């Protein structure tokens, strides 16, 4: 296990197009430490291993494991994803069947509505009544967070609860 640390750190560093200096600066150790770790001339502390793992966002097996152990770990992760994706694929197939009942015009309308919904959650540049984008004092376009943040969510929730109360009363 310990003999795998050097080659694994070196591989991760190269995959991320980093020099030893870049990695050393990022995890706050000396370049000499990185060099000795990669060349197997020196062990490393758990703190340094933790910093490396956190920096690259990898599991311990990615630092300590042999190529076979790493491959086995990746295979388990892939199998976990297959179950997750299987559900999503089944939902898409059901949706496709439902959409076969729609006319092309209805699908176009639905697509336009979805564009509006997606735009509601995206950052935007406000425009004046003439359609000119709002700018700051330096003449740069102002970009605002999504319109979703401006929704009176609490008011909408209260209104929804009132409607539910009326519906419940009507259904009695």
- Residue 127 CA from chain centroid, whole number: 30
- The whole-number pLDDT of residue 144 equals 82
- pTM above 0.75? no
- The whole-number pLDDT of residue 165 equals 92
- The whole-number pLDDT of residue 109 equals 92
The residue written with tokens 């609860």 in the block is: 161
- The whole-number pLDDT of residue 145 equals 79
Instruction: Say if CB 165 and CB 171 are below 8 A apart.
Output: no
**Residue range 99-121, pLDDT digits in tens:** 888 888 998 998 999 998 888 88
- The whole-number pLDDT of residue 18 equals 87
Residues of the chain with pLDDT under 70: 1-2, 69-77
Of all residues in the chain, the percent with pLDDT exceeding 90 is 12
- The whole-number pLDDT of residue 102 equals 86
Which residue ranges form the domains of the chain, and what is each CATH number? 2-65 (1.10.260.40), 123-172 (no CATH)
Structure-token pair, residue 138: 């330096």
- The whole-number pLDDT of residue 50 equals 85
**Residue range 75-85, pLDDT digits in tens:** 666 777 787 78
Structure-token pair, residue 127: 């425009």
- The whole-number pLDDT of residue 2 equals 66
- The whole-number pLDDT of residue 70 equals 67
d(CA 95, CA 154) in angstroms, rounded, equals: 32
- The whole-number pLDDT of residue 71 equals 66
The residue written with tokens 């000119």 in the block is: 132
DSSP the chain: -HHHHHHHHHHHHHHTT--HHHHHHHHT--HHHHHHHHTTSS---HHHHHHHHHHHT--HHHHH--HHHHHHHHHHHHHHHHHHHHHHHHHHHHHHHHHTTS-HHHHHHHHHHHHHHHHHTS-B--B-TTSPBPB-TTSPBP-BPPGGGGS-HHHHHHHHHHHHHHHHHHT-
């Amino acid at each position: 296990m310990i003999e795998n640390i050097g080659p694994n750190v070196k591989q991760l560093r190269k995959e991320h197009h980093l020099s030893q200096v870049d990695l050393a600066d990022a995890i706050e150790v000396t370049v000499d430490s990185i060099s000795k770790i990669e060349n197997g001339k020196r062990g490393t502390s758990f703190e340094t291993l933790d910093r490396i793992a956190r920096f690259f966002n990898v599991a311990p097996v990615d630092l300590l494991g042999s190529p076979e152990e790493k491959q086995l770990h990746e295979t388990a992760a892939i199998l976990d994803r297959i179950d997750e994706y299987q559900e999503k694929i089944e939902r898409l197939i059901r949706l496709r069947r439902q959409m076969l009942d729609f006319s092309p015009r209805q699908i176009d309308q639905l697509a336009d509505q979805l564009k509006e919904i997606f735009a509601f959650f995206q950052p935007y540049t406000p425009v004046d009544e003439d359609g000119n984008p709002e700018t700051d004092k330096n003449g740069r376009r102002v970009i605002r967070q999504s319109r979703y943040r401006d929704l009176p969510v609490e008011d909408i929730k209260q209104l929804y609860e009132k409607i539910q109360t009326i519906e419940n009363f009507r259904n009695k």
